[in-house]
Amino acid sequence: MAVHPAHPPEDREMELREHLAELKSRTTRVLIVIVAGMAIVFQFSSELIKRFWMDVFREELDMVVYTPTEWIMARLAFSFVLTFFVAYPYIVYELYLFAKPGLYEHERKFVKTFLPFSYLLFLLGTALAYFVVIPKLYGLATSSYLGAEPFLSVKKTLYGAFKIFLAFGLAFQIPVLAVIAVRIGLIDSKWLKEKRLIIYIAVFILATNVTLDITGLSQIVILGLVVVMYELSIAIAGLMEGKRENGMRTRRAV
């Protein structure tokens, strides 16, 4: 049976000032990467937005700008989101380095093993939103209402799509975060079960406030996805706890 030290190998008492300085340093690095990425993407953002527009609506549809600054803001938002997707592994890695001193060696190995899965699930969630959910939801906006043609704001359309992308990408992180939290002893399956109703209500309220879909379809889709991911997390946590208990019984028997 492996015996772990009383404290993580790099754990030491740090003043709040030191924690804040460390957090500031890592946040600054992340911001530098994001700003540099945005500067690069912005140069090609006009063409990328047009391609994105065609992928979402699957037809020739005019992009409407209602204010002088709307196109610039749309390009900036697009540049930020695309940079965030590309830089996501680095952002997660910086978060890991911030938490690393408080983790045991076996916990570090476990977290590092799951970090690649985190990014793959993030991409899977955003891909599902991009290729399936967004075209279906936004297809409703292109329907003619009593003969009237829709005129869609570029900025509002992009903002709504980006919120759904991020919601799907982050929802797919729930099992990974739950597995890591259970593994290092922060939570257990009982805690997850007790908090499920609160989580579902909070997600629905948040989805209602961040999405622009008045039909309620996007809110229902997001809530449904969160429910599936959360219930999967509970099941995985239960399996992990069962495996841990079996291992303890085996060691006692030996």
Per residue in 199-225, pLDDT tens? Answer: 888 877 776 665 555 556 667 778 888
**pLDDT computed for residue 57 by the predictor:** 79
Tell me: pLDDT of 247 over 70: no
70-99 and 154-171 are packed helices; what angle lies between their axes, rounded to 10 degrees?
Answer: 20
User: Would you say residue 1 has pLDDT above 50?
Assistant: no
Q: How far is Cα 223 from Cα 133, in angstroms, rounded to an integer?
A: 13
Is it the case that residue 20 has pLDDT exceeding 90?
no
Name the pLDDT band for 252 (thresholds 50, 70, 90).
Answer: low
Q: Is the pLDDT of residue 13 over 80?
A: no
Task: Name the most confidently modeled range: 46-55, 150-159, 214-223.
Answer: 46-55
pTM of the model: 0.76
The whole-angstrom separation of Cα 202 and Cα 184 is 25
Q: Is 125 exposed, middle or buried (0-12, 13-18, 19+ CB in 10 A)?
A: buried
